[in-house]
């Protein structure tokens, strides 16, 4: 199962940690893992490359683990929060469609 955990401080999303494989299908044919990966890649690229937020990203290939942590403040805070909220909603919808393969916390 893929576990998606979002971190917050008050009303601010401060980052996320995504880990595990969904187990929906074999590697290379797993549409749930592909959807999660796409959401993560889009969010990280938008936050760091488009908004310039300089979020810290850590990737561990063992166990398919990625963590993104925002700095204490961002110049493009409103945009970064919108991206993270959109990512969260996307993963919640994916969880609703595939409850045995993904959890969102």
Number of domains in the chain: 1
The model's pLDDT over 16-44, given as tens digits with 9 standing for 90+, comes to 999 998 989 988 899 999 999 999 999 99
Per-residue pLDDT of the chain (105 residues; tens, 9 = 90+): 999 999 999 999 999 999 998 989 988 899 999 999 999 999 999 999 999 999 999 999 776 899 999 999 888 999 999 999 999 999 999 999 999 999 999
The DSSP letter of residue 90 is: H
Give the angle 69-73-78 at the CA atoms, nearest 5°.
95
- Sequence-distant (≥ 6) Cβ neighbours of residue 69 within 8 angstroms: 7, 14, 15, 55, 56
pLDDT value at residue 63 = 63
Q: Which helix (H) or strand (E) holds 67?
A: strand 65-69
What's the whole-model pTM score? Answer: 0.91
6: CATH: 3.30.70.1490
pLDDT value at residue 73 = 87
């Amino acid at each position: 199962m893929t576990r998606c955990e979002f971190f917050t401080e008050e009303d601010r999303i401060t980052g996320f940690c995504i880990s595990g494989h969904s187990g929906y299908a074999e590697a290379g044919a797993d549409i749930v893992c592909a959807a999660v990966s796409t959401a993560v890649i889009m969010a990280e690229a938008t936050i760091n490359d488009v908004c310039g937020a300089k979020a810290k990203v850590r990737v561990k290939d063992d166990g398919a683990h990625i963590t993104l942590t925002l700095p204490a403040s961002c110049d493009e805070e409103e945009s970064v929060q919108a991206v993270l909220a959109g990512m969260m909603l996307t993963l919640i919808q994916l969880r609703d469609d595939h409850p045995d393969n993904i959890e969102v916390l």
